[in-house]
Chain A
Amino acid sequence: MQSAPTNVSYLFLLALVPFVGALINGLFGYKVQSKHGKRPIHWIAVAASATTFLISVKAFLDVKAGGPIEQNLWPWFDLGEGSSIKANIAFRVDQLSSVMLLIVSGVGSLIHVFSTGYMQDEKPYWRYFAWLNLFMGMMLILVTGDSFLLMFVGWEGVGLASYLLIGYYYQELPKAQAGMKAFLVNRIGDFAFIIGMAMIFWAAVDAAEATNTAGSILRFADLSTMFQNDAFVTAFLAKESMGVPVIHLGCILLFVGAAGKSAQIPLYVWLPDAMAGPTPVSALIHAATMVTAGVYMIVRLSFLFSLSTVAMTVIACVGAATALFAATIGLFQTDIKRVLAYSTVSQLGYMFLGVGVGAFGAGIFHLMTHAFFKACLFLGSGSIIYAMHHRQDMKDMGGLRKILPVTFWTFLISTLAISGIPGLSGFFSKDEILWRAYDTNNLLIPGEVLWVIGVIAAACTAFYMFRLVFQVFFNEPRADEHTLEHAHEHKSMTIPLVILAVLAIGGGYLGLPAWTGAPNLLDDWMEPVTEQAKLNTTWKTDVAHGHAGAKKEVKSLDAKISKLDLATEQGKAQSGYLVWRKAKLEKQITTKKASGISAFHSHSGEFILMGSSVLLALLAIFAAWRLYGRRYRDPENERALFGEKLHNLLLNKYFVDEIYAKYITNPALAFMRAVAWVDKNIVDGVVNLSAFIMKVCAWIIGSLDVRIVDGMVNGMASGCRVIAGRVRTIQTGRVQNYIMAAVVGTTVLILVTFIV
Chain B
Amino acid sequence: MPIPISAIAFYAIATIIVASALIVAFSKNIVYSAFALLGTLIGAAALYIFLQSDFLAATQVIVYIGGIAVLFLFAVMLTHNIEKSVGSNPHMGLRTVVPFAFLVLGFLIYAAVDHNWNIQAVRNSDPTVHKIGNAFLNEYLLPFEFASVILLVVLVGAALVARREIGARISQREES
Contact = CB atoms under 8 A, between A and B. Distances in A.
A747 B104 CA distance: 7
A747 B107 contact: yes
A407 to B, nearest CB: 130
B76 interface: no
A521 interface: no
A740 interface: yes
Interface in A333-350: none
Interface in B86-105: 97, 100, 103-104
Contacts of B100: 740, 743-744, 747
B103 A740 contact: no
A721 to B, nearest CB: 27
A740 B107 contact: no
Contacts of A743: 100, 104
A709 B134 CA distance: 77
A750 B114 CA distance: 15
A375 B37 CA distance: 144
Nearest to A743: B104
Interface residues of B, number: 5
A750 B107 contact: yes
Contacts of B103: 747
Contacts of A740: 97, 100
Interface string B120-160: 00000000000000000000000000000000000000000
A745 to B, nearest CB: 12
A740 B95 CA distance: 13
Nearest to A750: B107
A456 B39 CA distance: 159
Interface of B is mostly: helix
Interface in A707-756: 740, 743-744, 747, 750
Interface of A is mostly: helix
Nearest to B100: A744
B42 to A, nearest CB: 27
Nearest to B97: A740
Nearest to A746: B104
Nearest to A737: B93
Contacts of B107: 747, 750
Nearest to B104: A747
A225 B26 CA distance: 133
Interface in A204-263: none
Interface in A54-92: none
A740 B92 CA distance: 13
A302 to B, nearest CB: 121
A740 B98 CA distance: 11
Contacts of A750: 107
B107 to A, nearest CB: 6
Contacts of B104: 743, 747
Nearest to A744: B100
A747 B101 CA distance: 10
B48 to A, nearest CB: 27
A754 to B, nearest CB: 8
A743 B96 CA distance: 13
A750 B100 CA distance: 14
Nearest to B103: A747
A740 B104 CA distance: 11
Contacts of B97: 740
A753 to B, nearest CB: 11
Nearest to A734: B92
A740 B101 CA distance: 10
Contacts of A747: 100, 103-104, 107
Nearest to B92: A736
Interface in B53-107: 97, 100, 103-104, 107
A631 to B, nearest CB: 138
A740 B107 CA distance: 16
A736 to B, nearest CB: 8
B120 to A, nearest CB: 28
A744 B107 CA distance: 12
A744 B103 CA distance: 10
Interface of A: 740, 743-744, 747, 750
> Which A-B residue pairs are the 7 nearest by beta carbons?
A747-B104, A750-B107, A747-B103, A743-B104, A747-B107, A740-B97, A744-B100
10 contacts: A740-B97, A740-B100, A743-B100, A743-B104, A744-B100, A747-B100, A747-B103, A747-B104, A747-B107, A750-B107
Given A740-B97, A743-B104, A747-B107, 7 more contacts: A740-B100, A743-B100, A744-B100, A747-B100, A747-B103, A747-B104, A750-B107
